[in-house]
Amino acid sequence: MDKLIHTALNSIAQIRGAQIANAQNLANQTVPGFRRDIMPEGQAFVLEDQGVLQSRAFQIPEEHAAFSDIAGFINQTGEPLDLALADKGWFYVQPDEGGGGPALTRRGDMRVTAEGALVNGAGEAVLNQQLQPITLPPFRSIMVNELGAITIEPIGGAPGERVQVATLATTRGDGLTLIKGLDGQIRPPPGTALPAPDQGSKVVQGALEGSNVNATEELISSIELQRSFELNIRMISTAKEIDEAGSRLLRMPES
């Protein structure tokens, strides 16, 4: 019976991980550019004790989380600092915490801080082609073309004057393997360098890509996970009852 119980407990551990990913998705369904987390399948192994294989299998999830790369719906906002990528591609950002180096994101709700730094809604610094944070001088208006070139009408400049001040770093990421780290940032696997910007993505100004989380699917998944959890708990209770019944049968008869 212990094999049945350990199998059910291992299943419960996997369900717990799936519930965490499910809760994360629901919590971020309104975050622009968020990519839905997927519980990695991992690998199964059979316990080996002193050179003897036991009939007890366990599943170990992968260290890094997987995510869905399906594009979210693009909403036209008309805001000059709302940017979206029309097809495949990623912006480069420098997270303000964690010290993990530059990362990739689809989040395009940009703003300019009081110091002139261009950041997204999470406060992450947006990077240029040299992977350096972008700082903008004071401006009356701002324009971003399809290649990510930022042109402003500077305050104090001549009427109609336009100055290109930076270019957003983007990459299509074709053939690139990406994972989500423990900090929630999207990067290549450890030991793989971040690709150089190729400016192959089409930037759309005045539009914002939503998350690719489907709230209905996540709620249905939440119900199914809860039912699976209850089923495994019932299996453990049943194994306990069977074990106790077997013990009673083997008990010596009382005189």
Segment (H or E) for 240: helix 215-250
Position 235 pLDDT exceeds 70: yes
Percent of the chain with pLDDT over 70: 85
Q: Is the pLDDT of residue 187 over 60?
A: yes
Q: In the beta sheet, which residues pair with residue 6?
A: none
The 10s digit of each residue's pLDDT in 84-120 is 999 889 999 999 765 678 999 999 999 999 999 999 9
Question: Cβ distance 134 to 126 under 8 Å?
Answer: yes
Q: Is the pLDDT of residue 33 over 70?
A: yes
Contact between residue 208 and residue 84 where contact means Cβ atoms under 8 Å apart: yes
The DSSP letter of residue 70 is P
Sequence spans of domains, the chain? 2-66+213-250, 74-209
Cα-based distances in Å from 43 to 47, 61, 111, 212: 13, 6, 43, 27
Least confident of 39-53, 121-135, 190-204: 39-53
Specify the pLDDT at position 254.
Answer: 67
Q: Would you say residue 184 has pLDDT above 80?
A: yes
Q: How far is CA 48 from CA 142, 153, 233, in A?
A: 64, 69, 26
Torsion angle of the four alpha carbons 79, 201, 178, 94, in this order, in degrees rounded to the nearest 10? -50
Which tokens hold the place of 94? 């420098």
Task: Supply the DSSP string of 17-51, one letter for each residue.
Answer: HHHHHHHHHHHTTTSTT---EE----EEEEEEETT
> What's the angle, vertex CA 196, arms to CA 40 and CA 138, rounded to 5?
110
Please tell me the predicted confidence (pLDDT) of residue 111.
Answer: 95
